[in-house]
Amino acid sequence: MSESGKKWYVLRTAGGKEKKAKELIDGQVAANGWTDYVSQVLIPAEKVYQIKNGKKVSRERTFFPGYIMIEAELQGEMIHMMRNVTGVSGFLEEERLVNGVRKKLPVPLRQSEVNRMLGKMDELAASEEELEVSFFVGEPVKVIDGPFNSFSGIIEKVNNEQKKIEVMVKIFGRQTPLELNFMQVEKI
């Protein structure tokens, strides 16, 4: 943790609405003067690349859809206000006995979980581009790059580690195998 007293908590949100909920949380923090109590509001995500219409397109993929991480020192009404932000369904909580009364209270993440989460985010930020395409044997594809541009064929082999496939195309009436990388083909 970056500052004493502050811990990491998990807020549940509607899947796909994490960014909007984060904006609203940031707005509540600023409006209520909680900037001293809330250090960070994070949506753990990674950048992935896809091929769309023969072009490489990047997008962000959320690691934990439906969850936002918040580093904060939860004070007074802050818990109640955070639970009532539009798009937030509450904290990850556990029941505890407080002054003889059972209450549901937010559970802070263990330091090992925080390190893994932050380490994973840092590792992905520094890592090479990841191509998010899944090819399958028997699937038809069209070559979009190289000397066999515009040829179509059927996938014979897929090597996900090397990001290569073997495609059987018809050249001058004969079936010929081509070894191509994922970036050189698109699904038909």
Residue 155 has pLDDT above 90, yes or no: yes
The answer to whether the beta carbons of residues 57 and 50 sit under 8 Å apart is yes
Residue 48 and residue 24 share a domain: yes
Question: Residue 150 is part of which domain span?
Answer: 140-187
Same domain, 69 and 118: yes
Q: Using alpha carbons, select from 47, 45, 29 the residue that is nearest to residue 88.
A: 29
Please answer whether residues 96 and 30 qualify as being in contact, where contact means their C-beta atoms are separated by less than 8 angstroms: no
Q: Which residues contact 139 (CB under 8 A, 6 or more apart)?
A: 154, 155, 187
Check whether 130 has a pLDDT greater than 60. no
Structural domain includes residue 45: yes
- Per-residue pLDDT reduced to its tens digit, 61-111: 887 889 999 999 988 788 888 888 888 998 988 888 888 899 888 999 888
Question: What is the pLDDT at residue 154?
Answer: 96
Asked whether residue 178 is assigned to any structural domain, the reply reads: yes
Examine residue 131 and state whether it is found in any structural domain, yes or no. Answer: no
> pTM here?
0.60
CATH code (residue 84): 3.30.70.940
**Domains in the chain, number:** 2
pLDDT at 166: 95
